[in-house]
């Protein structure tokens, strides 16, 4: 079969299938093969979300066997898991491992959390299922660890068994959004943020007891500017909940609907103020 190959997970009896965006990105057509019935389908692309590397496709079929999304509270480190997918294009393969870590961010630029597992995830496994021994869907297999210092053209699975799946709660949320609009709309503050460390606090003469996230830059004409936020403002709370790190704040914001007005507690030049901010819509990655 020509073209790239990957895996997918049937998530509804009426033919919705979730996979990785990089599996279908740029495809002129998508063919879905089911080994259990030896049948091929032409799939329709419902939508993609490059930021989470997820995509939703659909085939015209009913009464399909579908996996159930697991709740985040239903798995923990040490649980046995199975990674299922079309490894190396050889056909359906299953590998056994454990949950090595949860809520694993791969970089500060990404908001999604990953499940780390030592179950083998190889080329062709992308978009496949990571399940527990009850068959519940814990995550969508997405990548293996690569040395950041390695030439990208030579990246291969590592023998250390450090592999990652996008957690089921996030995958489920993205799937529902793609069903509704074919894309994911995320809220946006329009500010460059840093966790307020003791060093930054000393640099800007901010008292040690002030904790939160400091604004170090603003996007021109962005929501933060329009709301009157300023560089060196420290955001200490969002909607009444204290803010500890920039990653925490950014992740809280992007899961809110664009256009929502939120209340932020701000420390500014010795004063504590409350500021309402109308969040904008996050532009696509290429526009940022």
Residues marked active site are found at 22, 53, 126
List, in order, residues 6 or more apart from 37 with CB less than 8 Å away. none
The 8-class DSSP code of residue 41 comes to: E
List, in order, residues 6 or more apart from 107 with CB less than 8 Å away. none
List, in order, residues 6 or more apart from 131 with CB less than 8 Å away. 67, 81, 82, 84, 137, 138
What is the distance between the alpha carbons of residues 166 and 195, in angstroms, rounded to a whole number?
Answer: 25
HSE (side-chain half, CA atoms, 13 Å) at 155: 13
DSSP string, 183-244: S---EE--EEEEE--HHHHHHTT--TT--SEEEEEE-TT-HHHHTT--TT-EEEEETTEE--
Of the candidates 128, 67, 64, 68, the one whose C-alpha atom is nearest the C-alpha of residue 93 is 128
What is the distance between the alpha carbons of residues 61 and 103, in angstroms, rounded to a whole number?
Answer: 35
Strands 261-268 and 271-278: antiparallel
Tokens of 251: 């992740």
């Amino acid at each position: 079969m020509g073209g790239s190959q990957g895996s997918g997970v049937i998530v509804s009896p009426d033919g919705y299938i979730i996979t990785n965006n990089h599996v279908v990105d740029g495809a002129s057509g998508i063919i879905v093969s089911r080994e259990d019935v030896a049948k091929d389908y032409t799939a329709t692309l419902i939508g993609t979300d490059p930021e989470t590397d997820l995509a939703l496709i659909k085939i015209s079929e009913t009464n399909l066997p579908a996996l159930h999304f697991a709740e985040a509270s239903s798995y923990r480190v040490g649980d046995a898991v199975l990674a299922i997918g079309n490894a190396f294009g050889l056909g359906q393969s299953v590998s056994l491992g454990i949950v090595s870590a949860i809520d694993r961010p791969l970089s500060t630029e990404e908001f999604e959390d990953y499940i780390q597992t030592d179950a083998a995830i190889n080329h062709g496994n992308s978009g496949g299922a990571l399940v527990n021994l009850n068959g519940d869907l814990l995550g969508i297999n997405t990548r293996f660890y690569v040395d950041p210092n390695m030439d990208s053209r030579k990246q291969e699975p590592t023998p250390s068994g450090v592999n990652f799946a996008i957690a089921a709660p996030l995958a489920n949320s993205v799937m529902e959004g793609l069903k509704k609009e074919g894309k994911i709309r995320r809220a946006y503050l329009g500010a460059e943020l840093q966790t307020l460390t003791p060093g930054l606090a000393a640099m800007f003469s901010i008292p040690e007891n002030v904790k939160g996230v400091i604004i170090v830059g603003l996007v021109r004409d962005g929501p933060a500017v329009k709301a009157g936020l300023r560089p060196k403002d420290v955001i200490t709370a969002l909607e009444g909940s204290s803010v500890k790190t920039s990653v925490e704040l950014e992740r809280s914001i992007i899961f809110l609907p664009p256009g929502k007005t939120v209340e932020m507690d701000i420390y500014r030049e010795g004063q504590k103020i409350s500021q309402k901010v109308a969040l904008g819509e996050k532009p696509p990655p290429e526009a940022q």
